[in-house]
A and B are shown apart, each in its own frame.
Chain A
């Protein structure tokens, strides 16, 4: 691990000014991902600026069922918040499906969406990786692609975003409040993460020095009937092979409206607009759910690799979406 300087300023604005003025500086929140990267040499910052304790750590009601979640709230607290559990069950479930109890106690709402891919080649500095070192090449294709993308990838990178919470937020019309060297701005959460394109080193649209200070959740009655389903290789403490965040409004056996996002399949939390479109007005049936999945997965491209690659994610995601929606509708409404 390369030595670095550490500073813990008095407030967020100062932290932003320090990081914004130093291209070799990074923010440290809960540290659940950055500390690993420091040890592995994945990142070698000259300056680490601690922001834990500098960011709002409350969940604030904005009225009408809307919430503002401070970036300093930890994942365990947010998952347990009664308003989140009742108004946005998909978010609580997504949080609880992530990591382990110990990690959720450390992980912060502001840092969680900014965690980086767990692509094993990205994390291993002895293998080329365009995300870690632009232009060095991608080691994944033809290697171990089990945990990689089937949607929105590029020839430069097929990594996936690992956060569960971010998948729920992408489905919930959330907005990220950001403080930067040039002031504040608000970014629709679905626009926060980038697809890799030819710049896979950039995970998000955040500029250097920008810091998420809060996540706003607008009031959404539809979210009360919502769920997160994570499918993984062991019962806990594993990243998603695929995951589905979904919310449904159903009346008289017909889907009035839907929100759907996928995890584990793309470089960003994948808002499934095409699936939502297919679901609106359709009967609440397995056939509709599968058709919705097929609409979204029309452009899916599996990655060949060891152990058969990741083509299994396509039927798996289709089946997981159908199962999640079926459960949301409930046996009696079928």
Chain B
């Protein structure tokens, strides 16, 4: 199924339909849902990383004027399912990580709730905890699979023998930090049981998937899904951390049932988000490359060590992009986990690809340096004909095109390959390149309904817009699929009252929901022709992927880095990305996605790091003053371009997902540029001034 004719709405630079409401402040977010008589929830968190709660003294909290309820493991209701231990809150006295919720307070105002929470006295039987990730731990284990169900290890040929025989080798260890998603809007939920007690549960929740949240909550509370409604028209960012419900949703629902007839509101504080809302594991990546003198790879290996929590496993697929990026007859990828007494890790923008394209892409730059080959040329020489491993043809693979287009736009041909050879004022200047990739994912289930309402068409699907542009792009797809002007199409999303939609994750939204919309339009036209009557409606469901092809998006990112000759301060005045991601539905929202991803990649390169103090087991820089995210002054020129590409195998639109690829490869490009500027290979993120200062010190005194 493709569009009936050449697309008209798709590809147009249409402004965001929800833009005005957001700018004017009239878009209603989960916490703000207008409801009468709301109560407010504040959580009490564990101050030890492992042990048991021995006593919870709630007397002072309960005595406070305005407190409505205090729930503890002994007073909270028993949940129907405690299988997901992250969500099994207040079910027992065990503490599995610092910051875990051990009690909650509901009050007439958020201020009273917060004050009362501070008055709850908790005693513990503490036992020694272990919160330190190291590659030499003896308890590392191989998970059964890595996210989202991929093989843990792969091996082809004999890497060790190929490394021994290789003319040139690179063998280094690279690390990425622990990162927190930190969307602007905190994790927030408003919950209401109506009628009270065993009634119908409505959750206004900031989520990337209303149906996923409904399914999880129905399971946790033992409800038929028909008795739960989840509503979320707007999301103030998620970056994966709202892809699966976290404990805030359970807390709000538990609390609301304990205060019959009243809706309960909960917004996590920024500090709480560092222990309760997921994060990206730190990674330790041992990378090995072997090559002939001409730059042909003969061995490629990545061995990854990372962490998960003791109560729930999440295995980031860091080694996965190395499985398909370049050709090599000998290849090995492994993942090993340490299960620690730490908060539960989860999805963060481009899980796997984001950290997994740091080590290998810096290693490729190091190999180019060893060989005296241009790093772009080295990558082109190792283009695979088919997808390594599977042997499938690529549906489209325009990595080389991205590298060449980017080289022209960036001015790469004038580059002097020597490191530390350029200075502008007090700044050492360098440039670097790295590649990006992200798989084309399609979720197995999503349904859309299209209905004629008066003289308009309405598409309904429980999809999400977390700032990505869904409110604007789905009408473009629907309009072309129906063959009508986009102005005559409305969409309704973000509510489980609409047909089931998959989560906005894995850059799968447009492929999955868009395909459902196209199928619904086809069914609608088949059924009603071009002159439908008011109320006519038809549904369509996403079909299976075309598994004859390997489908991935590609990109190339270029960075200019400046290193201050005295202080070692690192600045990145220029970033340029070129992407090959199929047909672009809307250039305006697409550019936002690419530039946003690249900015987040810059942030990863230079600034972000959650500092987990292993002595306490918590992230000590848990606010925006100390967890540095790239600020406006750090971003100067940043450009995103794309190649004209249409992938007929990916989906009816010919598009590929673009929400995540922008963050992939940026940090490696920056690290490579820093090396070119000052001669220091920074293999451990973030690239802070102390990591280059020693080299500046070693240079001869001027």
Contact = CB atoms under 8 A, between A and B. Distances in A.
Interface of A: 1-3, 41, 118, 120-121, 123-124, 126-127, 139, 142-144, 147, 231, 233-239, 241, 286, 306-308, 312, 315-316, 319-320, 322-323
A236 B628 CA distance: 10
Interface in B88-146: 111, 114-115, 118
B607 A233 contact: yes
B607 A2 contact: no
Contact of A316 (B606, B623, B633, B689): B689
B690 A120 contact: no
A323 B631 contact: no
Nearest to B98: A126
Given A233-B628, A233-B688, A316 B567 contact: yes
Given A234-B606, A235-B631, A312-B690, A319 B696 contact: yes
Contacts of B115: 1-3
Among A147, A234, A236, A239, residue most surrounded by chain B Cβ atoms (within 10 Å):
A234
A312 B631 CA distance: 24
A141 to B, nearest CB: 10
B618 to A, nearest CB: 8
Interface in B416-444: 426
Interface in B148-174: none
A106 B689 CA distance: 31
A143 B613 CA distance: 6
Contacts of A121: 620
B630 interface: yes
Contacts of B607: 233-234
A286 B702 contact: yes
Nearest to A2: B115
A147 B621 CA distance: 11
B611 interface: yes
A320 B567 contact: yes
Contacts of A123: 623
A142 B633 contact: no
A234 B628 contact: yes
A294 to B, nearest CB: 13
B693 interface: yes
B531 interface: no
Interface in B682-702: 688-690, 693-694, 696-697, 701-702
Nearest to A127: B616
A280 to B, nearest CB: 23
Contacts of A241: 689
A308 B693 CA distance: 13
Contact of A323 (B566, B616, B618, B688): B566
B567 A120 contact: no
B385 interface: no
B632 interface: yes
Nearest to A232: B569
A319 B620 contact: no
Contacts of B628: 233-234, 238
Interface string B599-611: 0000000110001
Given A120-B626, A143-B613, A316 B631 contact: no
B336 interface: no
Contacts of A237: 631, 633
Given A235-B571, A306-B613, A319 B626 contact: no
A2 B566 contact: no
B47 interface: yes
A29 to B, nearest CB: 19
Contacts of A139: 616
Interface in B575-630: 606-607, 611, 613, 615-616, 618, 620-623, 625-626, 628, 630
A73 B465 CA distance: 45
Interface of B: 47, 111, 114-115, 118, 426, 566-569, 571, 606-607, 611, 613, 615-616, 618, 620-623, 625-626, 628, 630-634, 688-690, 693-694, 696-697, 701-702
Q: Sort A-B residue pairs by CB-CB distance and give the 6 closest, nearest first.
A: A312-B690, A236-B633, A323-B566, A235-B633, A126-B47, A120-B620
B701 to A, nearest CB: 7
Contact of A308 (B571, B626, B690, B702): B690
Given A1-B111, A143-B616, 19 more contacts: A2-B118, A41-B118, A118-B625, A120-B626, A123-B623, A124-B620, A124-B622, A139-B616, A144-B611, A147-B626, A231-B567, A233-B689, A241-B689, A286-B701, A286-B702, A312-B693, A316-B689, A316-B693, A323-B567
Contacts of A323: 426, 566-567
A10 B682 CA distance: 58
Contacts of A320: 566-567
26 contacts: A2-B115, A3-B115, A120-B620, A120-B626, A124-B620, A126-B47, A139-B616, A144-B611, A144-B621, A231-B569, A233-B628, A233-B688, A234-B631, A236-B631, A236-B632, A236-B633, A237-B631, A237-B633, A238-B628, A241-B689, A307-B611, A312-B690, A312-B693, A316-B568, A319-B567, A320-B567
A142 B615 contact: yes
Given A120-B626, A319-B566, A144 B613 contact: yes
Contacts of B632: 236
B118 A143 contact: no
Among B620, B632, B689, B693, residue most surrounded by chain A Cβ atoms (within 10 Å):
B620
A322 B111 CA distance: 50
Contact of A234 (B111, B618, B633, B697): B633
A32 to B, nearest CB: 11
A145 to B, nearest CB: 11
A328 B563 CA distance: 21
Contacts of A239: 625
Contact of A235 (B426, B620, B634): B634
A151 to B, nearest CB: 18
A312 B697 CA distance: 11
Contacts of A1: 111, 114-115, 118
Given A236-B633, A237-B631, A315-B697, A231 B689 contact: yes
A124 B633 CA distance: 28
A6 to B, nearest CB: 14
Nearest to B614: A306
Nearest to A311: B690
A234 B634 contact: yes
A232 B566 CA distance: 13
Contacts of B616: 127, 139, 143
B368 to A, nearest CB: 29
A200 B621 CA distance: 21
Contacts of A120: 620-622, 626
A143 B617 CA distance: 11
A239 B621 CA distance: 13
Nearest to B606: A234
A256 to B, nearest CB: 24
Nearest to B623: A123
Nearest to B624: A237
A170 B422 CA distance: 38
A121 B615 CA distance: 12
Contacts of A3: 111, 115
Contacts of A235: 571, 631, 633-634
Nearest to B110: A1
A306 B607 CA distance: 16
A323 B115 CA distance: 49
Contacts of A315: 693-694, 697
A239 B623 CA distance: 13
A318 to B, nearest CB: 9
A147 to B, nearest CB: 8
Contact of A322 (B566, B613, B693, B694): B566
A143 B131 CA distance: 13
A237 B569 CA distance: 15
Nearest to B620: A120
B182 to A, nearest CB: 15
Among B606, B625, B694, B696, residue most surrounded by chain A Cβ atoms (within 10 Å):
B625
A307 B690 CA distance: 10
